[in-house]
Structures are given as C-alpha cells and as structure tokens.
Amino acid sequence: MLAIVGALLLGFSAPPAIVPFAEWLVLPGLAVWFVLATSERATLRHSYVYGCVYMAWFSWSVRHIMLPAYLAIVVVGGLYFLLGTAAVRGAPKRGRSLAFAIAVAGTFWLRAMMPDIYYPHGQPCHSLWQWPALMRIVTVGGEPLMNALLALVAATGVQVWQSWRVAVPAWRPSLLRFGGAVAVTVAAVLAGHLLAAAVAPTADEAAADRSVHIAAIEPGYHPFEIWGAGPRWHEVFMDLLEQRLLAPTAALLQEQRPAGQELDLILWPESSLLAPTIPLADVESGRGALFSGRFPKSDTRIAFGASLEDDQGGVGPATLLVELQNHRILDYQPKQWLVPGGEFLPLVGILPKSWADSVRLSFQAALGTPANCLSGAARRPMKTAAGVPFGSLLCYDNAFYGPAADRVAAGAEFLVVLSNETWYRGGAELTQLVAMTVVRALENAVPIVRCTMDGHSVAVDANGQVVAELTIAPAPQPAARILEVSIDRATGRIPPMAWLRRSCGWVLALLTALGAAHSVLRWVRIRSARTALSAAVAPGSSGDSSGGS
C-alpha cells in the first residue's frame, strides 16, 4: 500500500498538478521511494510496483495512441525504479541519502536517453515548472542535477523524521545532513541565476530594440480527420490546409499594423504540410518554392513542419522557412529526435521478420502512416528578414538538452517549437511538454515560442516564465486559433558551464549502474555463503561426521 500511495503522490505532482500546489508533493513522493529503498521490510518488488503505478499515472493519455505501447511504458518503466533501489541498497548506510539522490537522477536520465526506447516525460524537476525562479538549478546542471537535489532534500528529510521517531539515525547528524541538502539546493539556485546573468544583454544591447513579433497559428484539427478519409485524404487535407492555415495567414499579412509592430515570423505546427514531400535537393539548391501567388509580398517569413525527401527516397520531418518576397524556401532544420513508435519502430530489428512485419502493420493502422522516418543533424540557425538568428525544435527535439543548446551555441537568439500533440487528446503530456520547454528556456537563457496542432501553444521568456498562451483545446476545433506575442530575444550566447549540463546525467547514471552492480555482487556473495553454510551443517556432510567422531 505504501508503494501505491507514494507513487500517486509523485504522480499528483507531475504536470499538470491536479490541484493548486500539488507540485510540492514531489518531495513526499520521493520520500516514500527512499523509505522503500532503505527499509529492511520492503523488497525490490515494492519499488517496482511504485515505479509501475507512477508510470501508469502520468502516461495515461498515451493509451489513446496505442494501448500495447502504454502497457510497455508501464512495465519497462518500473524497471528503472527497481534499478534505483538496488543502487541505494548497495551503498553504505551512512551514505544512502546521497546514493538515493544519485540513483534518482541516474535512473531518470537513463529512461530519458535509453537508445530506441527513450522516454523523457515525468521527471521530478518538471513538477516545479511553474516556479521558474527555483528551477534555475537546471541552468547549472540540467534536469539531472535538479532531480538529484530534490531527491537529496526528500531523503535527508526522511532521516530527520526517522531520527525524531526512533532515534536512528542520530538526531544531530541527520539535522546537519538535511540542512546541508537545503543549503546546496539554494546555492545551486543562486548559481543558476548568476550563470543566466552572465549572458544577459549588455547595457548597449538592452538599449536597442530587441523585440521579435511572432504569430503562432494553431489549426485545431487531428490528422485522423485526414487519414480517416481514405481515398479522399488529399482533398480533405487541402481543405483543412486552406481553412486552418492558409486563410488565417493571409488575414494576418493583410492586417494594418503600427510601424515597428510588423510580424517577423508566422509559425505553423509540425505536420502542417503532409503532402507533397519536398525534395531536399531543391531546398539546398535554392530551387524550392511554395505558396506562390497565395500570399502578398512581405518581409514576414513562415516557419512550418513538413517532410523532406532525400535522393535515396528517405523521408524525414523538418522545419522549413519560406520568405514571402519570392516565396522561396530559404532554409530548413531536420528533426533530430524521432518519436519511438510514431516515427520509427524501436527494437523491431531484433524480432523475427514475421513478427516485425506484424508490428509495423499494427503501428501503421494505429497512426495512419508507416513509422519509418529519418532523422537529421543540427544545422546553422535560420534567420528572420531582419537578420535575427533563431533555432527550430521539431516536436520531440524540445524534450532533450542537446538540440536547444546546439542552436543557442550557434547564435540563435530565440527558439521556436513546432509540434503535433493531438495524439494525446488533451492529456497530461501536453503540459509535460510545456514543462520541458520551460527547462530548455532556463538551461539556455533563451525565449521560446511553441506552436502546436491543438495545444499547448505558449510563449516562454528567457527566465522560464510563460508570458502568453492559448488554453488547451483538444481537436477537433471549429476554427484555427492564433497566439500573437512579442518576445525579447536573447544574446545568442549560451550560459557558462555547458559541459556540466551535458555531462551531469551520464556521470550520475554511471554511478547508479556501479551502485546497482555492487548490490548484485553483494547479494550473490551472501547467497553463496548461505549455500555453503547450509551444505556444511547438513546431516551426512563431512563436517557433521567429523564433529561426531
């Protein structure tokens, strides 16, 4: 029962927190896990149940996409919690609070980065996304460091409570450990603010006009409206494209605006242009053109999600940038992190061919398209007509540290996220992805504008604060909605200590793996010793005979 209660506490804290201030349940939720990991009465099975219940709670809306995928997330996800508990039990008793902090950070990083089955949702630090001033820890060491410090505060808090109740561990050392954990956490928050200040605009830069005016169009339809039309899919798609994207864009371009308030950029979400695929060779050679004659000439540019086809026939998602003087495709940014199951099939290569074919057909039936997309590499930032460099993150690129950091390190002064999240049907994952956007903004001290199919479209400033948003409205909606916002661009300089943000996760994961391995080896030695002892004292053994002679 304790495992279920603790998992629900942690689940209630995950975005979106179910009631006001539920986000702070992250600490008692982690505290229960620490109790399970250190209690002699709790087995590894209790930690596994804890992990499965937690994964089941915050991933609930994945069931809309494919129920077997949801069940796999729950069953496999629970194993990471078992691994974390094993790592804690392999540590000396006096160091178990620190071991727990390392194990929490290490296991969540492993789940987020595991090849083919990476799943970065539901990290403890995401619970506090509405408290960006406290989340500045991620500017120092990314999500792993903040996860570790939250776990350390929770674990040392449990030890203070245990000391008060049963005097084990001792009161003064327990209190000192708890005070030290809080002090280190506060120091990390302050250090994060200092790192962000190091790349803030100088007085001269701040005196100039640094605003960028952006309109994000949220079309409000589900791709199943297209794929469900069968042979008429292209006709249905063209109608939706006209009504939900082309017409609203034309209306925006025709609006009379005060001088200096003209739109710099219009955003469409991922999967906006389902057909035709755009030849990569045409884009790279400058021959690619779109929307000729549909829009008036303008300095406003359009960034949207489409599909690029290489010379081998491979197709991959990408952001395209179109200028409206000659309607040319100026630049592109391929997607780097594909969605497991949605855009590629994880681990299918290890299955027998008949099984693999069956899995592919099942996913195609569930999603409407085959999951065989290609990813791409990072490219230079794109630019507005005024020459302001910006980076694009396509959907899942937003969930990982690398793509955003690479764009800013290359000079991007703001980021955009183009995403299609209709599969969740308004579920909790939409807010979880916004929490990830807040983390990316804080890590890199850069503003970000999200444009999605049906929510959650938001603008986040360089301090991680949501400054504008459209409320979540699951598709299908009767019409498109538009988020217009002016953001203050950053300097195109990444905060110092980027090496720590990149390395913190894998170092903590390595320590977790070593701790778990030590725990397993100790268990094997104990089992071997018990087996040998049992054999030595068994009736009829040589030891027993000699003792009676």
385: three-class secondary structure by DSSP: coil
Rounded Cα gap, residues 181 and 158, in angstroms? 12
Rounded Cα gap, residues 238 and 226, in angstroms? 9
Is the separation of the CB atoms in 508 and 500 below 8 Å? no
Rounded Cα gap, residues 75 and 53, in angstroms? 10
Tell me, what's the pLDDT at 542? 54
Tell me, what's the pLDDT at 508? 97
Rounded Cα gap, residues 313 and 399, in angstroms? 28
Beta-carbon contacts of 535 under 8 Å, excluding residues fewer than 6 positions away, are: 541
My answer on whether omega of the bond before 476 falls inside 30° of 0, hence cis, is yes
Beta-carbon contacts of 243 under 8 Å, excluding residues fewer than 6 positions away, are: 479, 480
In tens digits, the chain (549 residues) has pLDDT values of 999 999 999 999 999 988 889 999 999 999 999 999 999 899 999 999 999 999 999 999 998 888 888 999 999 999 999 999 999 999 998 899 999 999 999 999 999 999 999 999 999 999 999 999 999 999 999 999 999 999 999 999 999 999 998 888 999 999 999 999 999 999 999 999 999 999 999 988 887 888 999 999 999 999 888 988 889 999 999 999 999 999 999 999 999 988 888 999 999 999 999 888 999 999 998 888 999 889 999 999 999 999 999 988 899 999 999 999 999 999 999 999 999 988 888 877 777 777 777 777 777 776 666 678 899 999 999 999 999 999 999 999 999 999 999 999 999 999 999 999 998 989 999 999 999 999 999 999 999 999 999 989 999 999 999 999 999 999 999 999 999 999 999 999 999 999 999 999 999 999 999 999 999 998 888 888 878 888 888 766 554 444 443
Taking the chain, what is the end-to-end CA distance rounded to the nearest angstrom? 54
Rounded Cα gap, residues 184 and 101, in angstroms? 13
Beta-carbon contacts of 460 under 8 Å, excluding residues fewer than 6 positions away, are: 434, 437, 438, 441, 447, 448, 449, 450, 466, 467
3-state SS string for 240-263: HHHHHHHHHHHHHHHCCCCCCCCC
pLDDT digits (tens, 9 = 90+) for 443-486: 999 999 999 999 899 999 999 999 999 999 999 999 999 999 99
In this prediction the pTM is 0.93
Rg (CA), the chain: 26
